[in-house]
Amino acid sequence: MVSDMLSSSLWIVGPELILAVGAMVLLMIGVFKGEKSAQLVTSLAVALLIIALLWLVFIAPQGVAFGGSILSDSFASFMKVLVLIGSAAAVVMSAGYAESERFNRFEFPVLIVLSTLGMMVMVSAGDLITLYLGLELQSLAIYVLAAINRDSVRSTEAGLKYFVLGALSSGMLLYGASMVYGFTGQIELTAIAASLAEGERSLGLIVGLVFVLAGLAFKISAVPFHMWTPDVYEGAPTPITALLAGAPKVAAMALIVRFAMEGFQPVAIDWQQVIVFISIASMAFGAFAAIGQKSIKRLMAYSSIGHMGYALVGLAAANVEGVRGVALYMAIYLATTLGTFAVILSMRREDGPVDQIEDLSGLSRTNPVMATFLTIMMLSLAGLPPLAGFFAKYFVFMAAVESGLFALAVIGVLASVVALYYYLRIVKLMWFDDQAKPFLPAPIELRVVLWVAGLFVFPVYLFVGGPVFAAASAAAQSFF
Amino acid sequence: MLGLQAFFFYIFAFIAVGGALMVVLSRNPVHSVLFLILTFVASAGLFLLTGAEFLAMILIVVYVGAVAILFLFVVMMLDLDVGQLKQRAVQYAPFGAVIAVLLLAELIIAVSGGLADPAPMTMTTALPMAETGGLSNIEALGNVLYTRYILFFQLAGLILFVAMIGAIVLTLRHKENVRRQSIPDQVARNPATAIEIKKVESGRGI
């Protein structure tokens, strides 16, 4: 019986197994072929992530694995697809960077694959132990990746800062998890929900809930747990920043949604106020703090803090429209972020990469295609119709209105008006200001990512919006 | 039997508390770490008395064997200036005192409130531990660790794998101009390659 259960479980976690075994094989290839194998390992890592993606979509069955520790439902599948796309794009974009910066390290793609494995475990975590193990696997690999350029003081500082604060947040999360276990006697999320539905909620449980939410809020860099974000984004090698801004955010957001909706739906009223607070604080902070930034990597850090606030608006609604909104928001946010980072990685002159916003001025004359795409990205991040970003914001705000959170929706709209200023400033620099020195021509892989992401945001989303919306709706139904 | 158990309980408890006090009070940081190890060992004894032999062994292996020894290395390698540290501690003392008073007040309020009105403190108790059927708890853990909880075991293994890769990536440097030992070369030496015989003419020197 045990072996029956095991084999059905193994089918369900097929994509994760592919990544785990594949990462070890890639590492062996790297070790035996030496430093010059970095390009080969990078291409194989992309192939591996794509195979896992196809396996996930076409072969892997849905269901409950390992006695409830892994929940593989439509929500998990939707988020895992996003995570795999985000990671694959980050690996693709790192290929040229590693070459030009001369740190050809084959461990780089291997660690990204292992981190992706952690994210997939997070997304389908069914109990508190899986949740923690997935989170640690994901974070530990990213701490190393942030510090991987060890000859650069900035990169080392970014890695160390991220590690120390990340360890602190893990501590908070574990403390909260132990409280939850102590007061419900359960570690499985569904069992926690069942015991909450029948019993009276106790004070200790709420304390545990708040601590776990604080630990998770750190991972999505929501205010007031955002302090690490700008420094880490700026110091880490740019392809890692592109990874950090995309896939782990999606995974951690999925984890928060699952933790709140699967485990704590009976006490929604208690966590809703926490989510409303961090959502408002993140939106406001993201909007105002980004205004004075000079480095575009720092700007993207503040922008991502704000966007996590908008996504949390959907969770605060705690209804099926809200969860659908979060899923949709993360999909569109991921595409836009990847496109923007493809531009940032292309900002390179003869004397190395640059990351000041000033360097973009007059881009429309030297590289009109890139300027057009970056304009689309910026306006989509700002949330202007008819770009994809507008629909993302529309659905989370509608969900908030539907569950009666009018103030939250109004504050969200006001914050996006403020944020519009700094996105438009970049557009103005590119189209109306004096021409700066032109960039070197972008490598082919960056152009591919830019074209795919740019065309998705506008106008492809107008045509595929229906199916994406349907997938997000199916994902949201998992919790109801 | 109970008397003997109580006797050992008090011995371990006194050693643990005394050791913990000495960690804070001793002037030499190396002595502090050694007292910390003593406290760990005594705590392991306490675990053993309650029948948690697995926890007792883990405490010895992990805390004494790894963590405390690491502390010892750090303390001995870093040249700590205790006087300067004390001065800084005095600087922050008022701030610490305020926090201590606040925490104490909170504790008093929480406990007295809980005693006066125990209703909010009631909790759904955790399920009692399943009956192990006479197995020792290491056997009981072994029964589920590789079957029901195989996923956790494997994930923990992957985390250690990442930690290993990370340690190598971040610290290993191949230094140039360093002579390394090559065991195959050493083993392959024979008299023909190892020594060179020179004929020195008498009376000329080398």
Locate the domains of chain A by residue range.
Answer: 1-478
Query: For the ranges A146-150, A163-167, A230-234, B115-119, which has the lowest average pLDDT?
Result: B115-119
Which candidate in A10, A127, A133 is best for mutational testing of the B interface (most B CBs within 10 A)? A133
Residue pair A253/A78 in contact by the 8 Å Cβ criterion? no
**What number is the average pLDDT over the span A192-199?**
86
* Structure confidence at residue B114 (pLDDT): 57
Give the type of residue at A70: I
Closest chain A residue by Cα to residue B128: A185
Six token digits for residue A117: 């494995």
Burial of B147 (0-12, 13-18, 19+ CB in 10 A): middle
The three-state (H, E, C) secondary structure of A420-476, written as one string: HHHHHHHHHHHHHCCCCCCCCCCCHHHHHHHHHHHHHHHHHHHHHHHHHHHHHHHHH
Helix segments in A185-319, DSSP class H:
189-198, 203-219, 228-235, 238-245, 247-258, 268-289, 296-317
Rounded to the nearest integer, the mean pLDDT of chain B is: 83
- The H helix count followed by the E strand count for chain A is 21, 4
Q: What is the domain count for chain B?
A: 2
Which candidate in A71, A138, A144, A187 is best for mutational testing of the B interface (most B CBs within 10 A)? A144
Please give the Cα distance from A472 to A55 (Å, whole number).
Answer: 20
**What number is the average pLDDT over the span A237-245?**
93
Query: b/e map of A454-472 (b: 16 or more CB within 10 Å)?
Result: bebbbeebeeeeeebbebb
- How far off is chain A from B155, nearest CA to CA, in Å? 7
A353: enclosing H helix or E strand:
strand A352-353
Residue A23 pLDDT greater than 90, yes or no: yes
Number of inter-chain CB pairs under 8 A, A vs B: 84
Query: Is residue B119 a part of any domain in this protein?
Result: no
Query: Is residue B128 a part of any domain in this protein?
Result: no
Please give the Cα distance from A50 to A81 (Å, whole number).
Answer: 10
Which residue's entry shows tokens 């069942």?
A194
Closest CA to A105 of B170, B28, B179, B196: B170
CA angle B21, B26, B27 (to 5 degrees): 155
SS3 A299: helix
Please give the Cα distance from A117 to A251 (Å, whole number).
Answer: 11
A104 at B interface, C-beta within 8 A: no
pTM for the full model? 0.88
User: Is A114 within 8 Å of B161 when comparing Cβ atoms?
Assistant: yes
Nearest-by-Cβ selection for A202 from B122, B148, B154: B122
Q: Which CATH number do you get for residue B32? A: 1.20.120.1200
Which residue's entry shows tokens 């545990």?
A208
Which of residues A214 and B122 earns the better pLDDT score? A214
A11 at B interface, C-beta within 8 A: no
Closest CA to A377 of A319, A471, A296, A312: A296
Residue pair A415/A282 in contact by the 8 Å Cβ criterion? no
Closest CA to A185 of A158, A166, A208: A208
pLDDT classification of A203: cutoffs 50, 70, 90: confident
A114 at B interface, C-beta within 8 A: yes
**Tens digits of per-residue pLDDT, A115-145?**
999 999 999 999 999 999 999 999 999 999 9
**What number is the average pLDDT over the span A236-249?**
93
Percent of chain A with pLDDT over 70: 99
Residues B77 and B143 in one domain: no
Residue pair A403/A318 in contact by the 8 Å Cβ criterion? yes
Please give the Cα distance from A100 to A173 (Å, whole number).
Answer: 39
A147 at B interface, C-beta within 8 A: yes
Residue A243 pLDDT greater than 90, yes or no: yes
Closest CA to A446 of A317, A342, A355: A342
Cis-peptide into B191, omega within 30 deg: no
Residues of chain A with C-beta less than 8 angstroms from the C-beta of B159: 133, 136-137, 140
User: Is B124 within 8 Å of A202 when comparing Cβ atoms?
Assistant: yes
* Structure confidence at residue B131 (pLDDT): 65
Query: For the ranges A232-241, A399-408, B88-97, which has the lowest average pLDDT?
Result: B88-97
Please give the Cα distance from A203 to A180 (Å, whole number).
Answer: 10
User: Is B162 within 8 Å of A141 when comparing Cβ atoms?
Assistant: yes
Phi, psi (rounded to 5 degrees) for B205:
75, 175
Query: Is residue B102 a part of any domain in this protein?
Result: no
User: Is B166 within 8 Å of A141 when comparing Cβ atoms?
Assistant: yes
Residues of chain B with C-beta less than 8 angstroms from the C-beta of A191: none
Residue pair A117/A249 in contact by the 8 Å Cβ criterion? no
User: Is B120 within 8 Å of A137 when comparing Cβ atoms?
Assistant: no
* Structure confidence at residue A310 (pLDDT): 96
The whole domain housing B160 covers: 137-172
pLDDT classification of B121: cutoffs 50, 70, 90: very low
Q: Please give the C-alpha separations between residue A279 and each of A284, A287, A313, A340, in angstroms, as whole numbers.
A: 9, 12, 6, 23
Residue pair A86/A250 in contact by the 8 Å Cβ criterion? yes
**What number is the average pLDDT over the span A90-101?**
84
Closest chain B residue by Cα to residue A130: B152
ipTM over 0.85: yes
pLDDT classification of B115: cutoffs 50, 70, 90: low
Six token digits for residue A87: 């990671």
Beta strands at A70-72 and A63-65: parallel, antiparallel or unpaired: antiparallel
Residues of chain B with C-beta less than 8 angstroms from the C-beta of A199: 124
Closest CA to A251 of A71, A118, A140: A118
Rounded to the nearest integer, the mean pLDDT of chain A is: 91
Burial of A369 (0-12, 13-18, 19+ CB in 10 A): middle
B37: enclosing H helix or E strand:
helix B29-49
The three-state (H, E, C) secondary structure of A16-48, written as one string: HHHHHHHHHHHHHHHHHHCHHHHHHHHHHHHHH
* Structure confidence at residue B82 (pLDDT): 67
Nearest-by-Cβ selection for A110 from B120, B158, B165: B165
**What number is the average pLDDT over the span A308-335?**
94
Nearest-by-Cβ selection for A203 from B120, B159, B165: B120
**What number is the average pLDDT over the span A270-295?**
93
The secondary structure of chain B in percent helix, strand, coil, rounded to multiples of 5, reads 70, 0, 30
Residue pair A315/A275 in contact by the 8 Å Cβ criterion? yes
| Greatest mean pLDDT among B49-58, B90-99, B158-167, B169-178 | B158-167
Nearest-by-Cβ selection for A20 from B150, B158, B163: B158
Please give the Cα distance from A429 to A294 (Å, whole number).
Answer: 12
Taking the CA atoms of residue B143, residue B146, residue B150 and residue B154 in that order, the dihedral angle to the nearest 10 degrees is 140
Closest chain A residue by Cα to residue B149: A66
Residue B173 pLDDT greater than 60, yes or no: yes
pLDDT classification of B1: cutoffs 50, 70, 90: low
- How far off is chain B from A195, nearest CA to CA, in Å? 9
**Tens digits of per-residue pLDDT, A36-81?**
888 899 999 999 999 999 999 999 899 999 988 999 999 999 999 9
Percent of chain B with pLDDT over 90: 28
Closest CA to A156 of A232, A102, A242, A219: A232
* Structure confidence at residue B109 (pLDDT): 81
**Tens digits of per-residue pLDDT, A452-478?**
999 999 888 888 888 999 999 999 999
Residues of chain A with C-beta less than 8 angstroms from the C-beta of B156: 133
